[in-house]
Chains A and B, each alone.
Chain A
Amino acid sequence: MKNRLKDLRAERDWSQKDLAHQLDVSRQSVNALETGKYDPSLPLAFRIADVFAMPIEEIFLRD
């Protein structure tokens, strides 16, 4: 599954560590999400959507 995490994070000038802190996950998790090596669970996807104040479908895209 594709996602816009890296772009959205860059727009806000956040580091991976900043985003990881807001999501209460490790920096490695953010890196794995951004590089498409890991697809989040639905609860984590909702947390990500809350952090960016956007609907999930505008962050995560179908392949």
Chain B
Amino acid sequence: MEFNFSSKPNRRFLIRMISSTVVFGLAMAVARYLTTNGLDDGPLVWVVALTPGLAMVGFFYAIVMLIIEQKDEFIRMLILRQLIIGTGIALSFAAIWGSLEYFEVVDHIYPFYFVVAFLVGFGFGGLVNRLTHGAWGEMS
């Protein structure tokens, strides 16, 4: 696997993904600390609880901007394939887990785990690209 650092869209994508991950980690840690140490009501709870979610939206922003900024049409097609595969896997996971959870076969999980499923699917899409088209996609 190779990452083309000479590509400006790729560098920006990497910076946006790392930034979102760092903000998510910090926001999650701060939110957990504050909510387990007395903060349980008021508008500040909304702000604290919303920040990790918005950081996760940053992942989607990074992917969308990569598609918009990507000048190489072949690589853009590969990224779109990854996006479709990731979305399909995340929605399939949501459908299956939701059905199992509804009938109380499995425990409840927080919906943001579907974002994790999407990111795993997005990465898997890169592998599919490598096998079918000889290049990873966003890593190319």
Contacts and interface: CB of A to CB of B under 8 A. Distances in A.
Interface of A: 24-26, 28-29, 31-33, 35, 37-38, 40-41, 44
Nearest to A23: B72
B99 to A, nearest CB: 37
Contacts of B7: 26
Give the size range of B's interface with the partner: 10 to 19
A19 B62 CA distance: 29
Interface stretch (B39-47, B51-59, B73-81, B105-113): B73-81
Interface string B110-140: 0000000000000000000000111100001
Given A40-B73, A44-B73, 19 more contacts: A24-B71, A25-B72, A25-B73, A25-B74, A26-B4, A26-B7, A26-B72, A26-B135, A28-B74, A28-B135, A29-B72, A29-B73, A29-B75, A31-B135, A32-B134, A32-B135, A33-B74, A37-B133, A41-B73
Interface of B: 4, 7, 71-75, 77, 132-135, 140
B140 A37 contact: no
Nearest to A37: B133
B74 A26 contact: yes
A16 to B, nearest CB: 12
6 contacts: A26-B4, A28-B140, A31-B135, A32-B135, A37-B134, A40-B73
Contacts of A32: 74, 133-135
A32 B135 CA distance: 8
A32 B72 CA distance: 12
A31 B71 contact: no
Contacts of A40: 73
A35 B75 CA distance: 15
A28 B134 contact: yes
Nearest to A31: B134
7 interchain residue pairs of minimum CB distance: A28-B135, A29-B74, A28-B140, A25-B72, A37-B133, A26-B72, A38-B74
